[in-house]
Each structure stands twice: as structure tokens, then as C-alpha cells.
Amino acid sequence: MKLRRRSDGHNPFGELIGLCFEAWEKGSSRCKLDVRDELLNTHRVLHGGVTYSMADTGMGAALYTLLEEGESCATIEIKIVYLKPVTGGCLTCVTKVVQKGKRIAVLESEVENDGRLVAKALGTFSIVGAASPNNQPTTKSPQRDSQKSPLKAPHKRKPREPR
């Protein structure tokens, strides 16, 4: 599915750095960003946070293509390796879902600068149910009934005796 260049406020940070999606398909995404002077650090090299943000946003987009109605996702952690410095040109981030469970997903992104691999990222995302008006998940975690469960009831500690 093709996405609009502008997200109309849906992703204001992505708009701020100039991120746009070219493709968003089942379990994958592809986004681009033109390197601008405003995105460079004091050494005139692209700030690592821009590359990280591309990977993070690309991962979220790829995962959203596999979520059920009412589900959402959030980043738990991302490990990124910067392979080469970027001083100009166009960045392309291609992301794919490596594995998706009911509550956790693992994704990987490759970021290229004009066809040259400059970063690789591996991320873990949480999958949650729809949020209620007070921003609490509407899906409740299953409660374990210790009398009906084949699992052993939690061990109760004895109170400590005074010394």
C-alpha cells in the first residue's frame, strides 16, 4: 500500500526530519529521507538519532501491517550498528518483521545511503490491545485461578521471626 508523503500530523516527528514512506506492505516497510544540513552533527555527519529514528519508525510501520483491529505497538528496545558515516545524499530504510507473537515482535532494518549499507538495526516491540479513553489497555491479562489451574499456587512466605 502506498502512503502519503505527509502524514497530516499522524507522525509529526517523522515530518520534522523529512521522513516519507514509499511502501508499507504486509510485514515490511520502506521509507526515505533526504539528508539536510539541519540533520548533521557538529562534525558535519548525519546525527545518529536520525538514522535510529528511521529504523524505529520503519519498524513500527512494518509491524502495524500485521496488527489486528484495535491493537497497537510500542518500542521495547532497538540495537543499532552504525557501519559508515553519512554526509549527504538520500537514506533508504527497509524493514521486515522477523517474528511476531501475540505480545512481542522482532524486526530488522537496513539503512542505506545511496545504495551503500550504513546501519543495521534489530528491534523488539510490544503489542498491546486498544487503549480506553483513560489510556489504559482494554484487554486484561488473564487472571490465574490457583484452585482451577494445573499450575502450583504461588508460594506464601512465612513471617520472619524476630532476632
**Pair 26, 64: CB distance under 8 Å:** no
CA trace torsion 106, 70, 31, 88 (10° rounding): -80
Q: Which three cell numbers stand for residue 27?
A: 510485514
160 in any annotated domain: no
> Could you give the CA distance from residue 29 to residue 12 in angstroms, rounded to a whole number?
18
Residue 26 and residue 90 in contact, taking contact as beta carbons nearer than 8 Å: no
- Hunting for cell 546525527 — which residue is that? 47
**Largest pairwise CA distance in the chain:** 71
**Boundaries of domain holding 73:** 12-128
Q: Confirm whether 5 is domain-assigned.
A: no
Give yes or no for a contact between 109 and 95, defined as CB atoms under 8 angstroms apart: yes
pLDDT mean for each 10 residues of the chain (163 residues):
46 90 94 96 96 97 95 97 97 98 97 97 93 52 39 50 66
pLDDT at 33: 96
CATH number of the domain encompassing residue 76: 3.10.129.10
- 138 inside domain: no
89: Cβ contacts below 8 Å, ≥ 6 apart: 34, 35, 113, 114
Q: How many domains does the chain have?
A: 1
Prediction pTM value: 0.74
What count of other Cβ atoms lies within 10 Å of the Cβ of residue 62? 30
* HSE (side-chain half, CA atoms, 13 Å) at 55: 27
